Amino acid sequence: MSDDRRGSYRRWLERSSTATIFVYSALIVAFFPAFHFVLGATPGVPPDSLALRLAAAAVAAAVAIALLVAPKLRRYSPNLQLLNVLPTIVASPILVVNSGNNPSYIAGSLVLAIGVQQAFYRTRDFVIVLATTLGVEVLYSAIRGVFFSPANLNALALSGSGFFVAMAAGILRLRVQRNERELRSIVRDRTRELSEANAKLEEMSVTDPLTGLRNRRFLAQHLEFEVAAALRRTGDVPDADLLFFLIDLDHFKSVNDTYGHNAGDLVLMQMRDRLREVFRESDFLVRWGGEEFLVVTRSSRRSDACEIAERARTAVAGRPFALERGQRVEARCSIGFAAFPFVPFSPRALSWMQVVALADRALYLAKERGRNTWVGATAATRIEPEGLAERLAILGIDALQDGTLHLLVPK
């Protein structure tokens, strides 16, 4: 029996009331003597069998009374099942020796044998009970002077056979249980391996293979929750904004053309490290495509956007990128950014995707201003949020001229 099965059996014993254990113990012993008593005398049964039957019933009662007066036995005895089968160990020899080879008693003895075997989870326990029971049978039949009686020998043989049949059934049961445990273990291991493989596939599907940063799919899966949180916090706390930074390496194509694509890959991987130096672990760092990166800072203040953009620009331009064979290359970047909600007093005026589009327009302006700089797009102080998305879609950069947009640039 498995550890779980053993523990379950012991927990059942501990949970059982005294009355339950009394009935369990008494029925094992009392059924067949009572059966004989009701049917009356059976040929070949000695006249004192009634006293012996009463003695067997008294053993069952003694066990039950012991449990009644000492309930702690259920707590402290790890082999409490032995107490339940002790009456059987005594009753079985009495039934066999007094049977006179009666089929009812022989059948009863076999049933008892199976019942005894089923009470154990270890073969060793069963062998102990088998040896004890047969020993009591032999001793009792010798005391009665019927040891060499053919009927008694037949009964003993049948009783012993019943125990062996029960033991064989028990061994088969244990093997089936062991195979079931092994099968469950295999299924559990395979399920865990499949879950781990699925988790790895899911992680790969949202990760850029070159830089290890997140990709667009990750952003689509996770940003909606952050957007909803930002909308709930708007106006309640000062650091409730999402800041979108689009960062593009300037003249990156020349790096690939001059040093090769392997050098370009090295620059992109070092770009990842420099962005991690500037931004927090809680921020989303996304490879947006090619040499372009999108960073989303969560729970931020829009007033900090210019400072963050300058730190990111300095982290890229402040030191050269290392290539193979000791070579180094200087690189710069342009940055465009915008905050969500774009209009603080009308947080639903633009979606986060429209804010990313504004950051992209700001990046375009940074490129036009000579690169190696940053530009932020914000809403004008006096702005009509009604139809803002449509106006921006039509006007584009020209929205600067009609006062819809305002730019933040380095001083």
The residues annotated with a catalytic role in the active site are 291
Contacts of 324 (CB under 8 A, 6+ apart): 262, 263, 266
- 387: left (phi > 0), else alpha (psi -120 to 50), else beta? left
Residue 9, H or E segment: helix 3-15
Paired strand residues for 338? 244, 377
User: Could you give the CA distance from residue 382 to residue 269 in angstroms, rounded to a whole number?
Assistant: 42
Do residues 155 and 102 make contact, with C-beta atoms less than 8 angstroms apart?
no
Q: Please report the beta strands in 124-200, taking only residues with DSSP state E, as ranges in sequence order.
A: none
Question: How many other CB atoms are there within 10 angstroms of residue 194's CB atom?
Answer: 10
Angle of helix 150-205 versus helix 81-97 axis, rounded to 10: 150
The 3-state DSSP composition of the chain as helix, strand, coil percent (nearest 5) reads 65, 10, 25
Locate 61 and state its tokens.
Answer: 């009662």
Locate 321 and state its tokens.
Answer: 């990128």
């991987």: which residue's tokens?
269
Long-range contacts of 278-286 (CB under 8 A, 24+ apart): 278/308, 278/311, 278/312, 278/315, 279/308, 279/312, 284/214, 284/218, 284/219, 284/222, 284/223, 285/213, 285/214, 286/213, 286/214, 286/215, 286/216, 286/218, 286/219
Do residues 51 and 38 make contact, with C-beta atoms less than 8 angstroms apart?
no
Report phi then psi at 363, rounded to 5: -65, -40
User: Could you give the CA distance from residue 243 to residue 246 in angstroms, rounded to a whole number?
Assistant: 10
